[in-house]
Structure 1
Amino acid sequence: MTVFLIGGTGFIGRAVTQRLADAGHTATVFHRGRTTPDLPDSVPIHHGDRGDPEALRDALDTAAPDVVLDVIPYTEAQAKALTSVCAGRTDRLVLLSSGDVYRQYDGLRGASDTPPDPVPLAEDAPLRTSRYPYRGADADFAYAHDYDKILVEEQGRAGTVPATLLRLPKVFGPGDSEHHVGSALARLREADGELVLSEREAQWRWSRGYVTNVADAIAAAVLDPGAGGRTYNVGEPDALPQATWLRRVAEAAGIDTAIRTGPRAEQPDTPSFNWAYRMALDTRRIRTELGFAEPISHPQALVQTVSWETE
């Protein structure tokens, strides 16, 4: 199968590209050429800006892909332009979305007082009614003003090419520029032997996924024609409570820190989250329909990530 990847050189995209190439598929990468990606020699590369429809059209005509995978569709305009260019040039489109489309996310960040939805959140759980969740926020992100995965999903569904939508969890692993495990390590090391969590934070859940496992889930959707027109949550089968997650990170790193619950003063670096809103995703659909199962165990994933963070 020939797969055309937009954004196939970053943290998640590179892992997907490697996965497809290792399986013998032709993974063609389209990127701006500002970096030299660490990709297999067998991967064809086209340089261009996704904001230039003519460059994207020419690259698609050359690659003649069976499937187009957009790893980095952040805005409505990007998704609309892509669906237009893809019409007649590919059989299917796969768009990476996020768990932040769910209404629960507004409650988590204090933007809604709607009662929490029951978890885990299935693909038909209520979505945000708000738009542009990072507009006006102090976010170090080029597309923060116009970012909204709900609008990306709407454009994907409106196109003439059948689109698969993948709602990703918090992704961790070697190469993670946001250092999800690294921040947990720092918190554990600074706790001076004992980390006290509020009861609500200790029980709070957010679905996570190791980058290699997430790449495998994405590849499963790319390679299965039956995924056309479907929406899937991606993430570990069980979203661990925060206290359990921190204990497992500590164990993987060999850090002897006791983690308990109780009253505590808020720490300045603790996120201003409403812990009553749990971001646990129901990932049974992708497992049942596409036969997905994680190739890397959770303990192994944490050990590999801790090693990378430490180095």
Structure 2
Amino acid sequence: MIGGTHFIGPYVIRYLVFAGHTVKVFHRGQTKADLPTTVTYLQGNRQDIHQYQSQIEAFAPDVILDMIPYTAADAQTVLNTITGTCSRIVAISSQDVYRARDVIWGLETDIVDSTPLTESSPLRSQLYPYQNAPQRPLGVPSNYDKILVERTYLNAADMAVTLLRLPMVYGPGDPLHRFYAYLHRMDSKRPVIVLDARLAQWQSSYGYVENIDWGIALAVMQNPESESTTSHRIYNLSELHPLSEKERLNLLAQSANWPGQILAAMPDQLPPDRLIPFNFQQDWTTDSSLIRQELGYQEPVSITTALERTLHWERQNPPTDIQNSASAMVLLDPEIEDRVVAAFSH
């Protein structure tokens, strides 16, 4: 397993160990996780993984699970290292490979892709989605592109490949603190949270970390000889029933015991400089029926429990700056929000 000691990964390891599998983790050693004592480690940078080829050969893995392939070079280095040692790889991709991502960001115009997106939906035509972004999420490199990661792995000779396209993942340990800004407003006893009406009705796919990790573990443990699998497989992994932003915020409010109101304001009721520059006509939901049909995937944790665990962790581990919460960008400043609410009351 390459990576896996940070946010997305520890539950995968626990699931695999508890199922009777032997796991070795290759990681940088910068984060520690509470993992089963049978797990063994190789410590190093993934760019240098070829230096550990003899140790990997001695371990003789049946499957390589690549949790953190960001670039084509990342994937190629792994392939160069394991060819002849292991013939099966599971790699983590993202729903940002789909063209719908660029429609939302305004990079593709005059088109809206039908949703939920299936594994055969159109992919982005423009590569390197964060190359010119003022800020890159989680510090990904400028040449990050999961499309190129997928191509590199799928083009490998004599290699069985399973790709998992992940949604936005939340839960304890989330480095983006996706819901903290919402929770902070609720815990501050704000009576109303104002959302851009376009965002309020926009649907997107999320996944709770324990549920996502169970899907990853299932993909690792699948029998490559079974009739329902082929040498190359791509799966969307996400919640069964996507929610709108307002629907998800209502569930958060219930979990937080917040009695307030969510107000959807039309764009002309909001300050022009606070309008979110996304095309919300394009939803960002994925169809996860294939992994459910072929691998029997079902979420082990309900959405109610998932949100309760997430909010408990957020309260115990707030970000150093509330602006570091992914949801902060969609909220109005409290003073502006008060003025918008006051205007509604007249």
- TM-score band (shorter)? over 0.9
* Partner in structure 2 of residue 155 of structure 1: 152
Shift of 1:191: 8.4
Partner residue of 1:128?
Answer: 124
Between the aligned partners of 1:229 and 1:300, the Cα distance in structure 2 is 34
**Are 1:243 and 2:239 counterparts?**
no
Correspondence 1:23 to 2:19: yes
* TM-score, normalization by structure 1: 0.93
Q: Please give the per-residue CA displacement for 1:169-201, whole angstroms capped at 9, x wherever unaligned.
A: 000000101011223323555783122333321
2:165 corresponds in structure 1 to 167
SS in 2 for 1:147: coil
Question: Could you tell me how far 1:266 is from its partner in structure 2?
Answer: 4.7
Range that drifts further, 259-268 or 106-115: 259-268
Report if aligned partners of 2:93, 2:146 keep a CA contact under 8 Å in 1. Answer: yes
Find the aligned partners of 1:267 and 1:9 in 2 and give their Cα distance: 42
Secondary structure of residue in 1 paired with 2:47: coil
User: How many Å separate the matches in 2 of 1:228 and 1:121?
Assistant: 23
Structure-2 residue corresponding to 1:261: 264
- 1:291 and 2:266 aligned: no
Contact map agreement 2:50 2:78 (CA 8 A) in 1 = no
Could you tell me how far 1:37 is from its partner in structure 2? 3.2
Unaligned 5+ segments in structure 1 are none
Letter aligned with residue 245 of structure 1:
R
Deviation, 1:268, is 6.7
- The answer on whether the counterparts of 2:2 and 2:27 sit within 8 Å (CA) in structure 1 is yes
Change (3 A) 1:205 1:266: farther
Indicate conservation of the 8 Å contact 1:75/1:143, yes or no.
Answer: no
For residue 8 of structure 2, what is the aligned residue in structure 1?
12
Match of 2:237 among 211, 234, 237: 234
Q: Identity over aligned residues, as a percent?
A: 40
**Contact 1:94–1:164, Cα closer than 8 Å, also in 2:** yes
Residue number among 57, 65, 72 corresponding to 2:68 in the alignment: 72
- What is the 5 A alignment of 1:203-214? 203-214=201-212
Distance 2:231 2:184 in 1: 42
- Is the CA contact 1:66–1:91 (under 8 Å) kept in the aligned structure 2? yes
Q: Which moved more, 1:258-267 or 1:41-50?
A: 258-267
Q: Contact 1:73/1:96 (CA < 8 Å) preserved in 2?
A: yes
8 Å contact kept, 1:49–1:56: no
* Number of the residue aligned with 1:42: 38
Structure 2 residue corresponding to 1:90, chosen from 86, 90, 94? 86
Deviation at 1:230, TM superposition (A): 0.4
Deviation at 1:269, TM superposition (A): 7.2
Looking at structure 2, the residues matched to 33 and 47 of structure 1 have their Cα atoms a distance apart, in angstroms, of 6
Deviation at 1:76, TM superposition (A): 0.9
- For the residues of structure 1 that align with 2:38 and 2:202, how far apart are their CA atoms? 43
Greater CA deviation, 279-288 or 22-31? 22-31
Larger Rg: 2
CA distance in 2, matches of 1:126, 1:114: 15
One-letter amino acid matched to 1:212: E
Q: What is the TM-score normalised by the length of structure 2?
A: 0.84
Give distance in 1, aligned partners of 2:33 and 2:54: 21
Q: Judge which range, 160-169 or 178-187, deviates more.
A: 178-187
> 1:111 offset after TM fit, Å?
1.6
Q: Structure 1 residue aligned with 2:183, among 182, 185, 190?
A: 185
CA contact (8 A) 2:203 2:284 kept: yes
Question: Could you tell me how far apart the structure 1 residues matched to 2:166 and 2:271 are?
Answer: 29
AA partner of residue 14 (structure 2): Q
Secondary structure of residue in 1 paired with 2:263? strand
Task: Tell me by how many angstroms 1:17 deviates.
Answer: 1.0
- How many residue pairs match? The answer is 307
Secondary structure of the residue that 1:95 maps to in structure 2? strand
Residue pair 1:84, 1:159 contacting (<8 A) in 2 also: no
Number of the residue aligned with 1:195: 193
**Residue 25 of structure 1 aligns to a residue in which SS?**
coil
Give the Cα–Cα distance (whole angstroms) in 1 for the partners of residues 128 and 188 of structure 2: 34
Residues 245-254 or 134-143, more deviating: 134-143
Displacement of 1:130: 0.3
The answer to which of 96-105 and 141-150 deviates more is: 141-150
Tell me the CA shift for residue 218 of structure 1. 0.4
